[in-house]
Structure 1
Amino acid sequence: MSDKIPIRKRRKRWLIGTIALTVVLGAGGFVGDRILKSKGHPGLRTFLHQVVTNYPASFAMEPVLLSITVDERDMEQLRSVVDEARDRGVIMPEGNEYVEAKLSGPEGDFKAKLRIKGKLTDHVQGSKWSFRVVAKKDGGFLGMKRFSLQHPGTRNYLCDWLYHRLSANEGIVALRYGFLRVEFNGEDLGIYAYEEHFGPELLEHNGRLAGPLFRFDPALFWEHRLNEMQKLRFDEPFAAYQAAAVDAFGSSDVAKDDRLRGQFEEAVGLIDGFRRGELRASQVFDADRIARRHALLDLIGGHHSMDWSDVKFYYDPAAKRVEPVSYESFSAFPLRTLAGSDRWVGRHEAGMDLHDQYFNDEEIFRAYVKHLERMSRKSWLDSSFAALEPALDSASATLYREFPYKELDRSIYYKNQKVIRKLLNGPKPFHAYFGGTSSDTVEVAIVPIDGLPMEVHALLLQDGTRIAPVQKTIIPCRRQGNLGVPVVVRFAASGPVEREGLKIECSVLGASVQREVEVFPYALLGSAEQGRLLKDRTPNAKEFAFLIVDEQERTITIKPGAWKLDHTLVLPSGYRCVAVAPLRLDLVNGAELISYSKLDWKGLQDLAINIFSTDSSSHGVHVIEAEGLSRLSHVAFANLTRHKDDQERSGDVSFHKSSVIVDHCAFSGTGATLLDVSVCSFTMRDSRIDHGSDQLEAHFAQVTLSNVTFGHAGDDAISVEGGSARLEKITITDGKGIGVKGAKAAAVTGSDLRIEDMGAAFEGQDGSRITVKQGSVKNVEFIAKAKKAEMRYGPVVIELVDVTITEAGGDFVYGDGSLITVDGERVGVAKAVKGK
């Protein structure tokens, strides 16, 4: 009996201990679960699963390593900035100077300068300080010369990674953003996020022409924020959007570069006119990209980044349009309303908020809703994730090395899609009241109750008859906290209309889905007069007697004959400009032909269309953002401009974002550039280019040339910057510069090329690749030059196969890391090939 008592006691103690341990673990789990959920995490179970699953997965790849070394004196300066920021609660620019640093990355070692980055103290918490890095000379990291390093949580881990990738896929200028491991003075700081800053490399990477990058200067706004943090509250008019100056990134470089400064002045002028209400948003901004950006911000729940102090821009100097640049998204929040909701009042005016001005532009709003419909389809998000899956897996694995619990929660994006669809299809957009009839009209008073503008398409009668409104009608939104302002809509009617059973056919402005709203059979007394819609722009083409505008066929025809164009002609978008021989068009008195419509010009084999300038004073012919494919056949362009180093436009003739096929055409003159094509598809066949300085320049375009002759170039014949070029049966003779030049990672292939009597046959720089199979090179000062390998681009490669070379004054020269081969054998002398 005595032996059983200790056993019972032990069992009792074991049971009590087990219960106590269970209670402790349960309580701990409950508290931990509550804490995690309070911070926005799904809970403890998901947290443990993520840690167990994701951390081992992180070892599937080794993160990119960036090592930073700063000497002790400069380290003390950085510590001083950090300590002061922690004391004040904000990072002040005073004293936060750049210090010298040595960096080592996957491409090699380089020198740079860096400083503490950011405004608030989240950038200096713990040992993971945020840095702004600017590489010196040819240095750089992953193609970037200017970039930031910061805690991944600063940009919400994988959320900004996804935002920039989606932005790039939508054709928006997007920053390079990802994750890496950082060592600082030998100390492993763990996983950081890198984020590209604003400079020429950003534009090159996004396939854009060089141009100003800028913002609304937030400096005075941050003075206001600092006062708030110090609990000082008073009227501060200097902190408003309307008071902010337009500030260029790299302002010192802009000031030194006449061309860039002039472009920046253009951008400032357009922005000023926009803020004053003198110019519509679509006259200043790239309407489609503004629309895409805001539809995307709705999808990702990134409305915080719409603050005017955070938005960034690029000015396209050829299109004369301002584009948005993707920047910190503050995303992955549940969507409550749309970026364009509660804004449309049907007019733009001075004093409006930036986004109120955007979304009171009809072109922008229509495009915005179109992209909302597209992006809110589940299939769009499914395909986006599928396309990004390999890159997302790689980025996630790097992040999980230190943050295995920071998965990308895809569910928030799918939920936001559902919200977008609901908001685009609310239960009722407006109330409609029967206002009476006259002999030929029916009046309906419409009172908006929704936050989106509605376009009225028709009045539906009880018998199914459909009556169109007398004029285009867009019902403004109801501003939050206010009653909707009544709008009277008139519909054409051939006789009396019964008030019973009427419906309005309508849609959200720009939407593809139409809906019906019942009309109350009684009037709304005291209805206000409908405000006038924005006036459509009057086509400039109607000022010229030699043009025939056919609105039904959407054509603008240049009459045959001999005509003088003595002031600038602007052709609107959405048309086709038609011309046939015989036609002689003389551009005089500084005139310019600018077409936003595609060209369809057809001369004859023995009677070409002639476009020229007898006084060489014109500013040329320029096709910009034309929809569809232009075609030029048997057209001769001659003496349009005189040579000027600061030529206002790139080229006597240019095509920007306007694809074109050119055959049996001729270009000649003394201009700085005879033909310029950019960001488009360009095909030229059986044509000739004579004289001029530079003859053909292509920028980020897809170029195909066949049976084209280039003669007597004052400088270079063919220059390809970015993009690609395919050259077949090309003759280049009697020029002073380079026959074929590639730059900025251009890919040039050629066959059956004949180059004679030129300064040099081939030159490559910035990681370009030139491959020529079959051809001849004769009497040139140099055969080929390959500039040195650049860290951001890689090596230059020039390959010549079955190319006959005779009477060459010079041989082959290549820079460090680059390569020239002839019939598969490496050739040339390694020299420091400098310059552009």
Structure 2
Amino acid sequence: MSDNKQRNPNSIYQVVYHERRNYLQNITSSLLLITIIVVTISCVRNNVPAEFYLKSDLEFLTKDNKYFVAYNDSSSSFSGGLYQTTLRHKSGIHSAFSTPKSAFILSTEIAEVYRDSYVDIEVWKQGENAHLVCVLPETKDYFSTSEVVETDTSGWQKLHLTFYLPPVKEYYQLKFYVWNSGKDTVYYDDVSLKVIKNKPFPEYSLPAFYVELDTSAMMSLMETRIKAFKAGILQSSEDGDWVEGFVFADNMDMKAKLRLKGDWLDHLHGSKWSYRVKLKKEFSWNRMKVFSLQNPMARLGVNEWFLHQLMMSEGLLTTRYGFIPMTLNGRNMGLYAWEEHFVKQLVESQNRREGPILRFLENALWDTRVLDDKKMMNNKKTPVFQAAAIEPFASGKIAEDSGMFQQYLIAQNLMYQYKNRLAKASDIFNVEMMAKYFAMADVFLARHSIIWHNQRFYYNPVLCKLEPIAYDCYSDIGLEDQEKNSIWGFQHQDLTQPDEFIMIHELFNDTVFSKSYIHYLTKYSNVDFLDSVFSHYQPKTDYYDSLIKREYPEERFFKSNVLVNAQKIRDLMPAFEKQVNEMKMENRKWKNNPVQNQKYDSVLPAFFAPNLVLAYKQKVAGDSCLLKVKSFFPDKIIVLGVGKTSKKLREIVVPVPDLNGSCNGIPAETSFYVNNEKTNYLFFSITSSDEVFSIEINPWPEPNGAMSPYQELISTFPFPDTSIISKVNGNKVYVKGGKNTIDHPIQIPAGYVVNFEPGTTLDFIKKANFISYSPIIMRGTPDAPVVITSSDFTANGFAVLQAEGRSQVEYARFENLNTLNYKGWVLTGAVTFYESDVDIKHSVVYRNQCEDGLNIIRSQFLTEDVTFDYTWGDAFDSDFSNGLVLNCKFTNLGNDAIDFSGSTITIQNVTIDKASDKGISGGEMSHLTVINNTIKGCNIGIASKDLSVVDVTDTKILDCNYGLVLLQKKPEYGPGTLYFNQSTIQNPQTEMLIEVGSMVIKDGTEISGSVKEASNLFY
């Protein structure tokens, strides 16, 4: 959610709510005067039922002619009877009018409206500057709208105001009226006021998502909800407030944990609450393990779904998103939006390798919201941005996995660089994805997603860079108003932007980013592109729009808004592009840094302390560890000790460290040693309170912005390196011919073509590596191959990453290589091609010393007449790729011969001899076509798992322990399928091992699986 949720007066969903949730921050003296006036002319309704409906067509008056009678309830009335007129009318023959001198009419007062109720008010009007207003005097909430939601053929316009009464008190007093704020006469007709206690939801004929919770679980959620309303906001931890339950969907009964989710309290209105759902280990739904269920209008209905689909089609990471009816304990709850959470399935389902997902922790921000709501801040400031710790999702898993831990250390320093503007965008991010992210936010009015605490990042372990994960594109407030700045990059000219955008400015100091941003801004704002995508998604957009409108009639797809905004972008683009091309923005310094020049609170309530104090394990040595504590709290901090849990202090720190109060956003710091075995939580107090606080200690060092391994390599070993490069001619790079010994890393930047002569030998020693961001051309010959070797077996691999243009490798030999393993940047292949198309012919991969001999990821490839021999692990591993494997040989392999995941591959005329595990393996929705192959002496001949389809024809499987194995390895996938036509299995120990749900179709005959939990036999 945005931390600056201001109502946009031009929004299609505008409802002016001068206080964002429970309390009015600033009611001007004029509004107070209005309320006083209205009280004196209101009709008061007492002893009302929990639900009621008042409606008047302004035809009938009380005997004294002062009030309009509600025709469905003669005991209720609206003021302004003296202003009845026949000059205009929508229905009947009468209406009411107001002038500047009689600005407030049609008022009514309800003395007692039950809590947890919805109030819905409508009036039709002719004239300008009319406002529909409702005041809750006791809580000082003020609601108003002047937005027209409907116009009839006679020119009458409808105003519609709806709001919710939270469960913080038993009853509310309600005062309603219309207000003419202009200079002309306004006419009104057909006024109605409805109070709904139990809001009904439409029934849908679609398959639903069922949630079943016992009484204890429901009571726990209710208690959490009431606490949230009393606090003014819902703050949930990933570890707390969960309840056990069952969910049912797609004919599956699943055990789950649930908790309430959301920050703003609109997620908890009425009975339609938002939930985070975490399925137990063996279950998944829609190939997700953790996801949210929430009100569709919390993200502006179908608009969020549309943009997520478009982002995915453009290769930009985003959460999977959709709609489904929900039932809670047998009660229909209407339509919900479901959204994937930030776990590994998110990136894996979008063809990325698992890596840490990070965010800026925002708890202190929500503390300020609580104070704002309670009118306690007095417009002072709190260093929430500076104190926002960098935090991973699934922190427990990261702390326990040494590989993920190292990846996270790199990732958090990259985020620290971003936050503090310490490096160029192109050195921190996969710049193409970052440019797409910002361009889409501009064109599709989705800047809500780029507010600092809404940003999420995936650490790409192959590139050693961050990628954005776009989500939370819209809020319930409506579309962002970008009328004055349709191109975000132009805001770079304003050096006094708000704090929440401060780190974004530095992106546009990098011309590499700005030019990529311009490219995608041009693409996405193009008329033909927009026509194409709107047309492509229209059937589903219309369908979901119709479903949502049944419950939320105000739902509207934003196509027209986007088209208008795109035109503005096209108009501004030449000037912006000229500015970037002239490099007027590169390396600009900020004249006025809003963060550094801000004046902060010198006094804060005690409850701020836990979210303004941070603790890190800086160093672990044996049984002890060095803790670092930072405080952004203005009061003095007294460290008491540490403990294994948040409930009990186990070790007292002596002498007692203390920290003086933070001053103007500059933290106080201290460090000390403690016993590592007892150090999960830090206990401390503050001088202004007797309360003892506990916070979780981050089990990693504090980020300091240290260079990433990628950044270190490109800065330490610049291009061109004359020890290996003979010349550079335009965009052509020539590697030295003959034999060369390389004892340091080699980096080739993007924008070139790297040429190797026949007979070239590169001997990489002392952990040297070769990384090229440009395509390579190796044209060896049978008598003079290109040889990439390592005489001391330490070479850190040969990698081609994100090269534009297809690499060509002929008559090459890759031998004795290990993989890249440089200060936490670790790949798996001795030879790696990532997002780099390649043809490899007549070549050899021999005696590699790492997990994969050849690893091709997110690429198109051809491997023809390639020999893989004596590999330590897998010979050929490909992920998320398309390709051909033709006439290749695999012998003496330490693990799999061919292991393909998420790929579409044809394997033909291949010989596999002696693979310690699988001959051919298809996983994670792969589609393999296997023709005329021989597989001999393997543990498993062919495996199909996790929704893969393997189509085998004219293939022999000889002397394998298992001929065919089909199973489901990961719960978020499903069973495997294998077609076995005109093929044979000879001399197996087990011909076919097929798990329940999987299937072999042998020459047209279906063979269903009968083995339960087959994956336990192999993994």
Cα 1:425/1:558, change in 2 over 3 Å: closer
Aligned-partner residue type, residue 579 of structure 2: P
Taking the aligned partners of 1:32 and 1:765, their CA distance within structure 2 comes to 66
Residues 493-508 of structure 1 correspond to what in structure 2 (within 5 A)?
none
Is residue 453–residue 476 contact of structure 1 (8 Å, CA) maintained in 2?
A: no
Aligned to 1:827, the other structure's residue is in SS state strand
Taking the aligned partners of 2:422 and 2:90, their CA distance within structure 1 comes to 75
Taking the aligned partners of 2:87 and 2:415, their CA distance within structure 1 comes to 73
The reply on whether 1:356 has 2:486 as its aligned counterpart is no
Taking the aligned partners of 1:614 and 1:389, their CA distance within structure 2 comes to 60
The reply on whether 1:453 has 2:585 as its aligned counterpart is no
Residues 276-355 of structure 1 correspond to what in structure 2 (within 5 A)?
276-330=420-474, 332-336=479-483, 337=485, 338-343=487-492, 353-355=502-504
Deviation at residue 171 of structure 1 after TM alignment: 1.2
Number of the residue aligned with 2:210: 67
Number of the residue aligned with 1:560: 737
Taking the aligned partners of 2:268 and 2:940, their CA distance within structure 1 comes to 54
Number of the residue aligned with 1:76: 219
Taking the aligned partners of 1:113 and 1:178, their CA distance within structure 2 comes to 21
Taking the aligned partners of 2:977 and 2:321, their CA distance within structure 1 comes to 28
Deviation at residue 285 of structure 1 after TM alignment: 0.3
Is residue 726–residue 750 contact of structure 1 (8 Å, CA) maintained in 2?
A: yes
Is residue 344–residue 452 contact of structure 1 (8 Å, CA) maintained in 2?
A: no
Taking the aligned partners of 1:699 and 1:238, their CA distance within structure 2 comes to 46
Aligned to 1:202, the other structure's residue is in SS state helix
The reply on whether 1:22 has 2:22 as its aligned counterpart is no
Is residue 591–residue 619 contact of structure 1 (8 Å, CA) maintained in 2?
A: yes
Deviation at residue 784 of structure 1 after TM alignment: 1.0
Aligned to 1:830, the other structure's residue is in SS state coil
Is residue 420–residue 503 contact of structure 2 (8 Å, CA) maintained in 1?
A: no
Aligned to 2:317, the other structure's residue is in SS state coil
Taking the aligned partners of 1:18 and 1:767, their CA distance within structure 2 comes to 67
RMSD, aligned α-carbons: 3.4
Number of the residue aligned with 1:378: 527
Taking the aligned partners of 2:449 and 2:385, their CA distance within structure 1 comes to 15
In the TM superposition, what whole-angstrom CA distance separates every residue of 1:482-522 from its partner, at most 9, and x where no partner exists?
9xxxxxxxxxxxxxxxxxxxxxxxxxxxxxxxxxxxxxxxx
Aligned to 1:543, the other structure's residue is in SS state coil
Residues 206-225 of structure 1 correspond to what in structure 2 (within 5 A)?
206-225=350-369
Cα 1:391/1:790, change in 2 over 3 Å: farther
Taking the aligned partners of 2:557 and 2:326, their CA distance within structure 1 comes to 22
Number of the residue aligned with 1:769: 949
Taking the aligned partners of 1:234 and 1:96, their CA distance within structure 2 comes to 32
In the TM superposition, what whole-angstrom CA distance separates every residue of 1:144-172 from its partner, at most 9, and x where no partner exists?
21111111111111111122112112211
Deviation at residue 643 of structure 1 after TM alignment: 12
Taking the aligned partners of 2:131 and 2:548, their CA distance within structure 1 comes to 23
Bigger mean CA deviation after superposition, 376-385 or 594-603: 376-385
Number of the residue aligned with 1:700: 880
Cα 1:604/1:814, change in 2 over 3 Å: same
Match of 2:868 among 670, 689, 706: 689
Taking the aligned partners of 1:59 and 1:79, their CA distance within structure 2 comes to 24
Cα 1:29/1:224, change in 2 over 3 Å: closer
In the TM superposition, what whole-angstrom CA distance separates every residue of 1:747-773 from its partner, at most 9, and x where no partner exists?
111101110011111112211111111
Is residue 448–residue 472 contact of structure 2 (8 Å, CA) maintained in 1?
A: no
Is residue 68–residue 185 contact of structure 1 (8 Å, CA) maintained in 2?
A: yes
Number of the residue aligned with 1:742: 922
Taking the aligned partners of 2:146 and 2:791, their CA distance within structure 1 comes to 73
Deviation at residue 608 of structure 1 after TM alignment: 1.2
Identity across matched positions, percent: 25
Deviation at residue 174 of structure 1 after TM alignment: 1.5
Number of the residue aligned with 1:654: 832
The reply on whether 1:780 has 2:960 as its aligned counterpart is yes
In the TM superposition, what whole-angstrom CA distance separates every residue of 1:713-734 from its partner, at most 9, and x where no partner exists?
1111111111211111111111
Cα 1:18/1:656, change in 2 over 3 Å: closer
Taking the aligned partners of 1:267 and 1:700, their CA distance within structure 2 comes to 23
Aligned-partner residue type, residue 150 of structure 2: G
Taking the aligned partners of 2:482 and 2:729, their CA distance within structure 1 comes to 42
Number of the residue aligned with 1:671: 850
The reply on whether 1:174 has 2:318 as its aligned counterpart is yes
Aligned to 1:268, the other structure's residue is in SS state helix
Aligned-partner residue type, residue 771 of structure 1: D
Taking the aligned partners of 2:736 and 2:370, their CA distance within structure 1 comes to 65
Deviation at residue 21 of structure 1 after TM alignment: 4.6
Number of the residue aligned with 2:763: 586
Residues 80-91 of structure 1 correspond to what in structure 2 (within 5 A)?
80-91=223-234
Number of the residue aligned with 2:281: 137
Deviation at residue 235 of structure 1 after TM alignment: 9.8
Cα 1:216/1:92, change in 2 over 3 Å: closer
Is residue 452–residue 476 contact of structure 1 (8 Å, CA) maintained in 2?
A: no
Taking the aligned partners of 1:788 and 1:104, their CA distance within structure 2 comes to 21
Cα 1:394/1:21, change in 2 over 3 Å: closer
Match of 2:564 among 415, 419, 432: 415
Cα 1:479/1:64, change in 2 over 3 Å: farther
How high is the TM-score relative to the length of structure 2? 0.66
Bigger mean CA deviation after superposition, 194-203 or 228-237: 228-237
Cα 1:239/1:674, change in 2 over 3 Å: same
Is residue 118–residue 130 contact of structure 1 (8 Å, CA) maintained in 2?
A: yes
Aligned to 2:867, the other structure's residue is in SS state strand
Deviation at residue 388 of structure 1 after TM alignment: 0.9
Is residue 453–residue 477 contact of structure 1 (8 Å, CA) maintained in 2?
A: no
Deviation at residue 820 of structure 1 after TM alignment: 1.4
Cα 1:238/1:743, change in 2 over 3 Å: farther
Is residue 158–residue 396 contact of structure 1 (8 Å, CA) maintained in 2?
A: yes
Number of the residue aligned with 1:803: 983
Is residue 808–residue 840 contact of structure 2 (8 Å, CA) maintained in 1?
A: yes
Taking the aligned partners of 2:500 and 2:281, their CA distance within structure 1 comes to 44
Number of the residue aligned with 1:543: 721
Is residue 345–residue 477 contact of structure 1 (8 Å, CA) maintained in 2?
A: no
Cα 1:194/1:706, change in 2 over 3 Å: same
Cα 1:480/1:560, change in 2 over 3 Å: closer
In the TM superposition, what whole-angstrom CA distance separates every residue of 1:283-307 from its partner, at most 9, and x where no partner exists?
0101111111111111121223221
Taking the aligned partners of 1:113 and 1:407, their CA distance within structure 2 comes to 34
How high is the TM-score relative to the length of structure 1? 0.80
The reply on whether 1:602 has 2:745 as its aligned counterpart is no
Segments of 5+ residues of structure 2 without an aligned counterpart are 1-84, 98-121, 133-143, 161-200, 594-713
Deviation at residue 318 of structure 1 after TM alignment: 0.4
Cα 1:621/1:25, change in 2 over 3 Å: farther
Residues 391-410 of structure 1 correspond to what in structure 2 (within 5 A)?
391-410=540-559
Cα 1:616/1:352, change in 2 over 3 Å: farther
Deviation at residue 137 of structure 1 after TM alignment: 1.7
Number of the residue aligned with 1:440: none
Deviation at residue 681 of structure 1 after TM alignment: 0.8
Aligned-partner residue type, residue 682 of structure 1: F
Is residue 510–residue 587 contact of structure 2 (8 Å, CA) maintained in 1?
A: no
In the TM superposition, what whole-angstrom CA distance separates every residue of 1:765-786 from its partner, at most 9, and x where no partner exists?
2111111111101000001111
In the TM superposition, what whole-angstrom CA distance separates every residue of 1:437-460 from its partner, at most 9, and x where no partner exists?
xxxxxxxxxxxxxx983434xxxx
In the TM superposition, what whole-angstrom CA distance separates every residue of 1:326-384 from its partner, at most 9, and x where no partner exists?
110126334221222232699xxx99922112121111111111211222222211101
Aligned to 2:788, the other structure's residue is in SS state strand
Cα 1:237/1:258, change in 2 over 3 Å: farther
Is residue 548–residue 557 contact of structure 1 (8 Å, CA) maintained in 2?
A: yes
Cα 1:66/1:475, change in 2 over 3 Å: closer
Taking the aligned partners of 2:379 and 2:1010, their CA distance within structure 1 comes to 66
Number of the residue aligned with 1:387: 536
Name the count of aligned residue pairs.
Answer: 719
Aligned-partner residue type, residue 560 of structure 2: S
Residues 722-737 of structure 1 correspond to what in structure 2 (within 5 A)?
722-737=902-917
Aligned-partner residue type, residue 69 of structure 1: E
Taking the aligned partners of 1:452 and 1:221, their CA distance within structure 2 comes to 38
Aligned-partner residue type, residue 846 of structure 2: S
